[in-house]
Structure 1
Amino acid sequence: EKHGLVTWGNTLNEAWFRTEIAEFLAKITFNINVGRSLSE
């Protein structure tokens, strides 16, 4: 049982980490696009 909980915890951490990265990249992309449209 303990092993299953650890695996589940790792999966959750990985999913959270991926979400954080995705949001971070989205913010960067958004800022770059906004910067470009402002400079045009």
Structure 2
Amino acid sequence: MDRCLKIGKYSATHTTFRFFLDSLGSFRASFALLYCSLK
């Protein structure tokens, strides 16, 4: 939850493209975490 808030604040001071890259990276990270927990 903290990470989501941090990303939201971060996007407010950066461009949409930068935010897109950040959210894509966090999506991959959370997907990897989900994959590991299912294994």
Give the TM-score band, short-chain normalised: 0.5 to 0.7
What residue is the counterpart of 1:34 in the other structure? 35
Structure 1: give runs of 5+ residues left out of the alignment: 1-12
Structure 2: give runs of 5+ residues left out of the alignment: 1-13
Percentage of pairs with the same residue:
4
Q: TM-score, normalised by structure 2?
A: 0.62
Tell which has more relative contact order, 1 or 2 (C-alpha 8 A, sep 6+). Answer: 2
CA deviations 1:2-30 (Å, max 9, x no partner) are xxxxxxxxxxx711100000000000000
What residue is the counterpart of 1:15 in the other structure? 16
Runs of 4+ in structure 1 over 6 Å off: none
Aligned CA-pair RMSD: 1.3
Higher helix share: 1
What secondary structure, in the 3-state scheme, does the structure 2 residue paired with 1:19 have?
Answer: helix
Write the distance in 2 (CA, Å) between the matches of 1:15 and 1:32: 25
